[in-house]
Amino acid sequence: MVGDLRALYLFWLCAADDDYEDPNEIIEPPVPHGLSETMNCTGELLEFFGLDPLLLVAAGTAIEGAPTTAPVDQLVSEWIESIDNDRAKNLLENFVTKDTAAIKASLLAEIRDSTKTDAWPTTEKKRSLQAIFEQADQLRSAEIAKQVRKAETKAKRQAAKAELERRERMKQMVKDPRKWLREAENLADARGTDNYRAAADILADLREAVGGQDGADITRNHAAHLVKKHPTLTRLKSSLRKRDLLA
């Protein structure tokens, strides 16, 4: 209603990709300024048509941003200043005695129609649809690589944090090994693959914390005790073997 042509370009993208024409021969229309800014609010429509939302970013590459428009509050204020007292009184009476929602909608339409708007600016790029697809593919590859790097960085931070926490726990293990033997046993008694794995991790860390033959003996003996206590728990045995806690 305000002359924004970006929606038309969006619908062109949705309709242009079909099985009847060669994308290399389909030439885009003039590109409305600010096109890439619409990805967050219109990307789902492109996905509905099986298209990558980054097509809007690709199509909007090297295109100027959307033109600035006056805020609605400013337009309303200017329109209020333009009407005379008789009109203002009449409107107030209508708001009090008639359908408020209908009157408001009518006034907003009047304000919009009375506001002079320049034609929405566009830029002629004359790219083929295939060229836009290829640009979007490049952007998607770069985005995927960025997300992979981000995930790797996060994983390294988490691993470093986990290692620091493990080292701190091992310091506590040296002070009271029996406490951690009981913790491993409680986990085994609680059953469950995750608990078995956690029990084996505790014993492996305790072995390293105590060190030497003493560390190996105390943890192997306790692992053997757990297996004897739970002879049918094959997953417990497997977790202990993976940490070299069973002979």
pLDDT along the chain (247 residues), means of 10: 82 85 91 88 85 91 81 78 88 88 86 73 92 94 95 95 91 92 94 94 94 93 94 94 91
pLDDT of residue 82: 86
Question: If DSSP codes are grouped into helix, strand and coil, which group holds residue 7?
Answer: helix
- CA dist., res. 247 & res. 231, Å (int): 15
Q: Virtual CA dihedral for 162, 168, 169, 174, nearest 10 degrees?
A: 150
Q: Tell me if 94 sits within 8 A of 103, measured CB to CB.
A: yes
Is the pTM of the predicted complex or chain greater than 0.85? no
Sign of CA dihedral 100, 105, 108, 114: negative
Cα of 115 vs its chain's centroid, Å: 39
pLDDT of residue 247: 74
Count of other CB atoms within 10 angstroms of residue 189: 12
- CA dist., res. 37 & res. 68, Å (int): 13
80-87 long-range contacts, Cβ below 8 Å, gap at least 24?
Answer: 82/114
Q: Which residues pair with 27 in a beta bridge?
A: 128
Residue pointed to by tokens 């505790």? 202
Which tokens in the block code for residue 46?
Answer: 């492109």
pLDDT of residue 2: 62
